[in-house]
């Protein structure tokens, strides 16, 4: 079982609509959480960090629920350029795992005109 | 701003050959991570280095080795290449005091024939 689980999608979203998806993680000792964006054949790029209090960056809102061990991402007013794979990423800083990022399999989002 | 540099960007090798991938971190970054992303897969952590010492090890095959040099660049050496080694290899870098913020290079696409 993967440590980070995501719905692979694809989520087909009309331009201007809102889309939300989440992921779950299994290691309760995980300390930091992120959403990365990856375009086809390109490197992952940090979209935003995720905090328990919830955080917003423009049209993107991320939320962390530590009790249920899930992380969510909501995209408002979707743009065509939002089409990508969104990777849920978890970081644990322990003696066994210092700095390595654990990736989910990614959720594909396709924004259509 | 300077980014992580990886070379070569593309590499084609035959089975049982060797390959060396290079990574040049962002200036003043002292920590380097290697990830492998197979076709349709999420990135998997291979190995990381801090101040020229191995800091963490993931699912890196025994046929692979890596090191970090005094100028902080890193090399991933791959021997006895197998078809299954065909993948995108990403290098990421960070500062030790800010392990949460890892910047990814553009990747090396390795094809083993």
Residues A8-65: pLDDT tens digits?
A: 989 999 999 999 999 999 988 888 999 999 999 899 999 999 988 889 999 999 999 9
Residue range A92-104, pLDDT digits in tens: 776 666 678 899 9
Lowest-confidence pick of A96-100, B8-12, B95-99? A96-100
Instruction: Give the pLDDT confidence score for residue A96 in this predicted structure.
Output: 63
Residue among A109, A104, A108 at smallest CA distance from A24: A104
Q: How far is B57 from chain A (nearest CA, A)?
A: 8
Nearest chain B Cα distance for residue A33, angstroms:
9
Considering only the beta carbons, identify the residue of A43, A93, A103 that sits closest to B106. A43
Q: Which residues of chain B neighbour A103 with C-beta distances below 8 Å?
A: 42-44
Which residues from B are below 8 Å from A106, CB to CB?
42
Across chain B, mean pLDDT equals: 94
Out of A44, A97, A105, name the one closest to residue B104 (CB): A44
Average of pLDDT values for B29-55? 92
In the prediction, which pLDDT does B100 show?
78
Chosen from B92, B102, B107 to mutate, greatest number of chain A CBs within 10 A: B102
* Contact partners, residue B98, CB within 8 Å, separation at least 6: none
pLDDT in the model for residue A41: 82
Cis peptide before B60 (omega within 30 of 0): no
Give the pLDDT mean for B61-88.
Answer: 96
- Cis-peptide, bond into residue A10, ω within 30° of zero: yes
Give the percent of chain B with pLDDT over 90: 81
pLDDT at position A97 is: 63
**How much is the average pLDDT of B44-51?**
93
Q: Is the pLDDT of residue B61 over 80?
A: yes
Contact check, Cβ <8 Å, B48/A100: yes
pLDDT at site B30: 92
Residue B96 pLDDT class (50, 70, 90 cuts): confident
Q: How far is A26 from chain B (nearest CA, A)?
A: 17
Better pLDDT: A88 or B55: A88
């Amino acid at each position: 079982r993967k440590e980070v689980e995501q719905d692979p999608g694809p989520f087909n979203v009309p331009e201007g609509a809102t889309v939300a998806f989440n992921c779950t993680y299994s290691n309760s000792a995980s300390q930091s959480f992120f959403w990365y964006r990856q375009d086809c054949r390109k490197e992952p790029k940090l979209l935003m960090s995720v905090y328990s209090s919830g955080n917003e960056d423009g049209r993107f809102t991320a939320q962390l629920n530590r009790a249920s061990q899930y992380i969510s991402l909501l995209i408002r007013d979707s743009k065509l350029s939002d089409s990508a794979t969104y990777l849920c990423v978890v970081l644990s800083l322990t003696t066994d795992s210092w700095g390595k990022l654990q990736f989910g399999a990614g959720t594909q989002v396709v924004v259509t005109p | 701003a300077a980014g992580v540099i990886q070379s070569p960007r593309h590499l084609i090798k035959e089975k049982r050959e060797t390959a060396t991938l290079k990574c040049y971190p962002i200036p003043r970054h002292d920590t380097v991570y290697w990830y492998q992303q197979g076709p349709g897969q999420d990135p998997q952590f291979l190995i990381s280095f801090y101040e020229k010492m191995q800091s963490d090890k993931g699912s890196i095959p025994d046929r692979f080795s890596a090191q970090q040099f005094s100028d902080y660049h890193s090399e991933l050496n791959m021997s006895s290449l197998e078809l299954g080694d065909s993948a995108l290899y990403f290098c990421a870098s960070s500062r030790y005091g800010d392990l949460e913020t890892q910047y990814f290079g553009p990747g090396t696409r390795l094809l083993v024939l």
